[in-house]
Amino acid sequence: MGNENKADIPARYDLNAKWDACLDLGLRRFVYSSFAGAFTGLLLFRSPVTRWASVAFGAGVGIGSAYSECSHKFDGSPPKLTPSLSEFPPPKV
């Protein structure tokens, strides 16, 4: 009976679902990227400092990509990076 109110909220306005998805995405990308950085550090570097730097870099990449995708989930569609051809006037000959 308590689930009747949740059915009334459209998916694009359900903030609880968006927060859950973003926390899940952020945690997953943080862990997977950290493991990838640790594995790369073990393969490529000898010094413990550079290995930890590789782990930190991987964690940063994971958090950054999760933040980017979550901001698109909350704000709507991702921004258009390239302008369309209709925005420019035709060249004068």
Cβ pair 55, 30 in contact under 8 A = no
Cβ pair 30, 62 in contact under 8 A = yes
CB contact set of 84 (below 8 Å; sequence gap of 6+): none
Comparing CA positions, the residue from 82, 28, 24, 86 lying closest to residue 59 is: 28
Which residue positions in the chain have pLDDT lower than 50?
Answer: 1
19: left (phi over 0), alpha (psi -120 to 50) or beta: alpha
Per-residue pLDDT reduced to its tens digit, 3-17 = 555 567 666 667 788
Residue 11's pLDDT is 63
Residue 52's pLDDT is 94
Can you state the angle between helices 48-75 and 15-44, rounded to 10 degrees? 160
Residue 78's pLDDT is 59
Question: How much is the pTM?
Answer: 0.67
In the numeric block, the tokens 């590789």 are attached to: 54
59 phi and psi angles, rounded to 5 deg: -65, -40
